[in-house]
Amino acid sequence: MIRKIIKIQEEKCNGCGACAAACHEGAIGMVNGKAKLLRDDYCDGLGDCLPACPTGAITFEEREAADYDEAAVAAKKQAAALPKAPFAGCPGSAMHTFHRAASSSAPAPSAVAAAPTSRLGQWPCQIQLVPVNAPYFQNAKLLIAADCTAFAYANLHEEFMKGKITLVGCPKLDPVDYSEKLTQILKQNDIQSVTIVRMEVPCCGGLEMAAKKALQQSGKFLPWQVVTISIDGKRLD
């Protein structure tokens, strides 16, 4: 039958998973980091997912689609209530516990290492808070890092922050376009290089895209690289 049903524009989806969480019927799931309408008969056509989408990737359309199957949805909800139900939201919000190996014995007093030194070169460090014309940007090597990298990657200070000006942010939590401010920082200052450190989760791609867009819009040809950190704290590239 012809009926009203949601339509997801994959090119606009940023993989945040908010629509999947808002869909009480379970019609939407995350597939390869993108929201997908998994089954027509799970979609009631009411559109609870539309206001949840931050990018406007979801709209209505009228097309040939299976009737909404309330009984099938009820059965799915019952199955989802069982233990070990699969996580259907944003991969960046999925819970993980890492069991770190502990030393079997305490080191001798002479072997205790000195406390690590912070390599943060300035304050503030949040992208939204730094002034675009701050003096520390002149001749600086710039590190643009996702918030979570400092907690996931143990050696972030020594390997990436040392000798750089560090800017941090989370595109999922900050409802702004980072590229606008980053573009001004690159345009108004003599930046030497740009390093982007992000997490492997899809929603963290927004930070990488914003930094790349800023590099393009700045009109400057700067050395740059992207490094991805896994959710269990390993460097992937």
* Interval 133-189: pLDDT, tens: 888 999 999 999 999 999 999 999 999 999 999 999 998 888 788 999 999 999 999
Q: Could you check whether the bond before residue 116 is cis, i.e. omega within 30 degrees of 0?
A: no
pLDDT per residue over 102-140, tens digit each?
A: 555 555 555 566 788 899 989 889 999 888 988 899 999
CA atoms within 13 Å, Cβ hemisphere of 111: 4
Alpha-carbon distance 19 to 36, whole Å? 10
**73: amino acid identity, one letter:** V
Q: What CATH number has the domain spanning 2-91? A: 3.30.70.20
Nearest to 181 by CA among 235, 236, 227, 218: 218
Phi, psi of 3 (to 5 degrees): -150, 170
Question: What pTM was estimated for this model as a whole?
Answer: 0.60
Find where tokens 């406390």 sit: 115
Domain map (residue ranges) of the chain: 2-91, 119-229
Identify whether the C-beta of residue 44 lies closer than 8 Å to the C-beta of residue 71: no
| Domain spanning 119-229, CATH architecture | 3-Layer(aba) Sandwich (3.40)
